[in-house]
Structures are given as structure tokens and as C-alpha cells.
Amino acid sequence: MSRTSRLATAAAVGAAALLALTACTGGGESDSADDAAGVAPVTEGVLTIATGEPAYAPWVLNDDPESGEGFEAAVAYAVAEEMGYAAEDVVWVRTTFDSAIAPGPKDFDLNIQQFSATEDRAQAVDFSSPYYVTSQAVVAAGGTPAAEATSIADLKDAVLGVASGTTSLTVAEEVIAPDQDLQVFNSVDDAVAALQNGTIDALVTDLPGAFFVRDAQLDDGVIVGQLDSAEGGDEFAFVLPKGSSLTADVTAAVDALRENGTLADLETEWLADQGAPVLQ
């Protein structure tokens, strides 16, 4: 019960209850102050950042976030620096994806592993402003003509697959406008199977999914490139404990890095230049 509610109850039940309330007012005010301050950092003077176990490229290279190599590792250190933390004051821990967004106490100050900010998840955790908006990408099997494409024009004759009801379908139609009808599948997995058996030449999906298809589902997959459209992209944001005292500071840092071009530079360095160029 809040302090305001307690005062209202005390007024209703009479002077005796009011006196009892007065006797414990100090504790009530302290609780309110703690609530206003928010959930404190795990360790004073240290920024504890979590990522997945394991963490995959291109988000974290070689499962080593301490190196600062990989898009999300680099973003994390840039945010820490913007907040006034030296690199040596950053400590990394590991969590599963699901535990990070579940209700309850956390052993991290912020967590970065491709979390899309949603209203449902925001009931249990805090989100920063987004550090990345996903784009659509084209992934092909190695050794095919589609894998050798270097422009949108090179993909016009390709047989392209997409999952039904996705942004990928809309973007593929509008940006590539292939000469052949798009092959529409019930799911991304079905489209990947079609890519594996040669039914389609290439698959259009979101960039995080394209990296997964290339690295985990194809033996010789190639990301042909990204499509220049942010339509319907998911917004990736840092996750923080619900009510964290650091949420506003992390958001301010992310916003500053977006405005000064740092996030765009890191996206180019670790996503575009590491195998996902933007197709023109």
C-alpha cells in the first residue's frame, strides 16, 4: 500500500490509526524514496551487461563480448562510455533469452541479445530506446547465380521465396520486384527447406534471420545483401530490470549515439562490412 493510501485509510478509521501511522511514517517515506530512485545497479561503480550463452556473430564475435568485437558488443561498450564507464568498469554475465525478459530480480544492469521491444514484455522489464531497426535481407545457397548477385537488378530473374504474412513479402515485391512470381511458404522453415532443395534460388527474410540461415541452416549459405527498406522492422533495445534507475541514462546514451552517427557507423562496420552490404 502506498503512503497516500495509508493516509487515506488512517483518516477514515480515526485518530488512533493516524497516530499509529505517524509512528511508522519514517519507514514509509524511506520506501517511497527507494521506489523513486529505482532498482539500483548490481554493483556500485560497475556496469554489469548480459548477453546470450553462447553469443553469435555478427552480434558478438567468437563468443567473446569482452573483446568489443561484433555489433552488439561494440554498441554495449559505446553506451557504457557515453554513460561515463571506462571499458574496465564493464563486467559481462550470461543469461538465456527467456530468463532475461521474465519477471523478477536480475543479475545484470542491462542485457543485449536482439530483444524486440514489445508491450507484453514491457510489463516485466524495462527497455531502452532502440539501438537497431532490423532490415530485410536476401540469403542464397553458395554456388548459385543468386549468390553471385551484387545488385537488385541481378536478382530480377531469380526465384525468390518468402514466408507468408511477413514484411519480407511486401519488401521483396516493392524493392526487388522480381520478374517471376514470389514463392510464398507457410513459414521461414519451409522457405529454408525450399532453398536447401533448390526449389528457390534465394530467400528474403529479416537480417537477423538471414544470419541464422546462413550460419546455422545452410552448409554454404551467402547473404547477398540487405534491402534498403525499414518498413515493419523490429526495434532492438537493451533490456533492464523493471524500474531500473539506469533506464533513463541508457536511453539517453543510445539516443546520443544515434544522433551523432555512432550507431550507424557500427552498423556499417559490423553488419554491412561483415557480409551484409546494402544492395542498390
**pLDDT 10s digits, 159-191:** 999 998 888 888 999 999 999 999 999 998 999
pLDDT at residue 34 is higher than 80: no
**Residue 280 belongs to a domain:** no
pLDDT of residue 228: 83
| Residue 122 and residue 103 share a domain | yes
| Residue 183 and residue 144 share a domain | yes
| Residue 128 and residue 263 share a domain | yes
pLDDT of residue 166: 81
| Residue 258 and residue 208 share a domain | no
Q: Which three cell numbers stand for residue 4?
A: 497516500
| Residue 59 and residue 20 share a domain | no
pLDDT at residue 114 is higher than 50: yes
Higher pLDDT among residues 230 and 32, named by residue: 230
Residue 176, CA distances (Å) to 21, 114, 142, 228, 245 in order: 69, 26, 20, 10, 45
Contact by Cβ (8 Å): 112, 232 = no
**Residue 36 belongs to a domain:** no
* Integer Cα distance of 217 and 137 in angstroms: 16
| Domain range enclosing 95 | 47-133+234-272
**Residue 17 belongs to a domain:** yes
pTM (2 d.p.):
0.77
**Residue 39 belongs to a domain:** no
DSSP-assigned letter for residue 207: H
Domain count, the chain: 3
State CA 67 to chain mean position distance.
19
**Residue 88 belongs to a domain:** yes
| Residue 20 and residue 151 share a domain | no
pLDDT band per the 50, 70, 90 thresholds, residue 238: very high
| Residue 115 and residue 96 share a domain | yes
| Residue 129 and residue 157 share a domain | no
| Residue 223 and residue 140 share a domain | yes
**Residue 153 belongs to a domain:** yes
| Residue 128 and residue 144 share a domain | no
* Integer Cα distance of 170 and 161 in angstroms: 12
**Residue 186 belongs to a domain:** yes
pLDDT band per the 50, 70, 90 thresholds, residue 230: low
**Residue 126 belongs to a domain:** yes
